[in-house]
Structure 1
């Protein structure tokens, strides 16, 4: 059984198969400039959209906004949903008081 992984459409083997298929319909000399031309156009197109760090996004610059987003994500990852006792003194005092059926009662009876 052949164990080669051809699931990647951009693997070298798949690219060669596609070129061989296209060569049936288009002369290989015409195929290469088309492939290279599309690649160059795409690179030029995406390079024209370089993001400047001085761009204002609302009241913030791009860098300030990225820092705030990073800080938010860091805090989000550190959240803990366990119950915390914030008032140790109150808890100790409540545990030491007398109760009847779960309700606090006075010492006078």
Structure 2
């Protein structure tokens, strides 16, 4: 019983198609180590760039920057664009004054 699964993604023809597609974007010399797995030298190379939370991004450390970004996002989410009266006394006084064509007028007229 020789059953061949034509939908198998790991057939030689499919692998060659995938390689040809990736070769458009990546040099074939870079593709081979990826296919074979990381070598010891590659692992050591990538370990040099291990991400550290103590690294500074400009004058701030990573953690300080994350706190500032979080504070900014929180303030952004709490913004209110509705009109707000800061001085209720002024509003009451303005409503009680006489107006003519929308302008305040004196009571002496």
Fold shared, TM-score > 0.5 on shorter chain: yes
Q: Which runs of 5+ in 2 are unaligned?
A: none
Could you report, residue by residue, the CA deviation over 1:11-36 in whole angstroms, capped at 9, with x for unpaired residues?
Answer: 99999997999999999999999745
| TM-score normalised by the chain length of structure 2 | 0.59
Say if 1:6 and 1:14, in contact at 8 Å, map to a contact too: no
Say if 2:99 and 2:105, in contact at 8 Å, map to a contact too: yes
| TM-score normalised by the chain length of structure 1 | 0.59
Could you report, residue by residue, the CA deviation over 1:41-95 in whole angstroms, capped at 9, with x for unpaired residues?
Answer: 9877665433211112222111101100111011111111111111111111000
Say if 2:98 and 2:104, in contact at 8 Å, map to a contact too: yes
Matched residue, 1:70 = 70
What is the number of equivalent residue pairs in this alignment? 109
